[in-house]
């Protein structure tokens, strides 16, 4: 999303610059040679059209709705364009260390797959929460979940994270379905 915001920002800047240039140009031209106006933008036609349609016409309402929705999309893009880094404690002054949620998930996933009775596992991680989904053949969810949760928590405590994420574990086991 971050590259999208940079792109949007560029396009919006260009649009504002173009609108400003046209406004200044048209007004100056109209001031200098009123008889030969308009120069580029057919604004007298636009003026007549706008004078002919009412606020409650469908075209105006649809345009307003489209502008509103476009604005909401811009808001959404701006809000979601933040970094999701996982922070470590600073080892020294003016040294800041972070990692990506993906690499945290990779470490937890490798650790969980090494455990006994785990066939496969998928992990998603953020700075606040680590979700583990493990598949086991031999163990029930009841038996395996506390073990996995404990060992993942111990692993995370070994890492010098500024905040310890909550750990949630789900075990998928055929023995639970019998």
Partner 1 sequence: MTKSFSAKALARSYRTERTVTFTTGLLAVLLGAAVLVVGLGWLGAYRAQRPVLDPMAVDWIRHQQPTLVRIVAIVAGVALLVSGLWWCARSLRPERHPDIELDRERGHRLVVSSSAITGAVRADTEAIDGVTKAKVRAVGSRRHPALRLHVWLREGSDPRQVWARIDDDVLGRARAALGVTVLPTAIRLELGSGKATRVR
Residue 10 interacts with partner 1 (CB under 8 A): yes or no: yes
For partner 1, which stretch binds (CB under 8 A), given 37-45, 62-70, 143-151, 167-175? 62-70
Residue 35 interacts with partner 1 (CB under 8 A): yes or no: no
In 3D space, the residue among 74, 93, 143, 95 whose CA is nearest the CA of residue 115 turns out to be 143
For partner 1, which stretch binds (CB under 8 A), given 59-67, 132-140, 142-150, 166-174? 59-67
Q: Which of 38, 41, 106, 126 binds partner 1 (CB under 8 A)?
A: 106
Residue 154 interacts with partner 1 (CB under 8 A): yes or no: no
In 3D space, the residue among 84, 80, 58 whose CA is nearest the CA of residue 3 turns out to be 80
Per the omega criterion (within 30 degrees of 0), is the bond before 38 cis?
Answer: yes
**In this complex, which beta carbon is closest to partner 1, that of residue 13 or of residue 42?**
13
Question: Judged by CB under 8 A, how many residues of this single chain contact partner 1?
Answer: 75
How far separated are the first and last CA of the chain, in Å rounded? 45
For partner 1, which stretch binds (CB under 8 A), given 57-65, 134-142, 146-154, 167-175? 57-65
Provide the minimum distance between the beta carbon of 13 and partner 1 in the complex, in angstroms, as a whole number.
3
Alpha-carbon radius of gyration of the chain: 29
Q: Which of 100, 162, 164, 168 binds partner 1 (CB under 8 A)?
A: 100
Q: Which of 40, 75, 119, 154 binds partner 1 (CB under 8 A)?
A: 75
**Phi-psi category of 153—alpha, beta or left, where left has phi over 0 and alpha has psi -120 to 50?**
alpha
In 3D space, the residue among 173, 155, 172 whose CA is nearest the CA of residue 164 turns out to be 155
Contacts of 99 (CB under 8 A, 6+ apart): 85, 86, 88
Q: Which of 33, 40, 44, 69 binds partner 1 (CB under 8 A)?
A: 69
């Amino acid at each position: 999303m971050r590259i999208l915001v940079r792109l949007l920002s560029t396009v919006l800047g260009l649009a504002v610059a173009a609108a400003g240039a046209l406004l200044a140009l048209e007004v100056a031209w109209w001031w200098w040679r009123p008889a030969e106006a308009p120069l580029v933008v057919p604004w007298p036609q636009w003026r007549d059209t706008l004078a002919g349609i009412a606020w409650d016409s469908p075209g105006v309402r649809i345009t307003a709705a489209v502008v509103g929705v476009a604005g909401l999309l811009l808001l959404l893009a701006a809000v979601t364009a933040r970094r999701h880094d996982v922070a470590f404690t600073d080892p020294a002054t003016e040294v800041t260390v972070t990692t990506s949620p993906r690499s945290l998930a990779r470490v937890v996933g490798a650790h969980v797959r090494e455990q006994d009775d785990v066939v496969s596992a998928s992990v998603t991680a953020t700075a606040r929460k680590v979700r583990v989904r493990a598949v086991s053949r031999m163990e029930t969810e009841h038996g395996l979940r506390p073990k996995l949760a404990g060992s993942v928590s111990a692993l995370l405590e070994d890492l010098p994270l500024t905040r310890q994420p909550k750990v949630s574990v789900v075990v998928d086991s055929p023995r639970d379905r019998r």
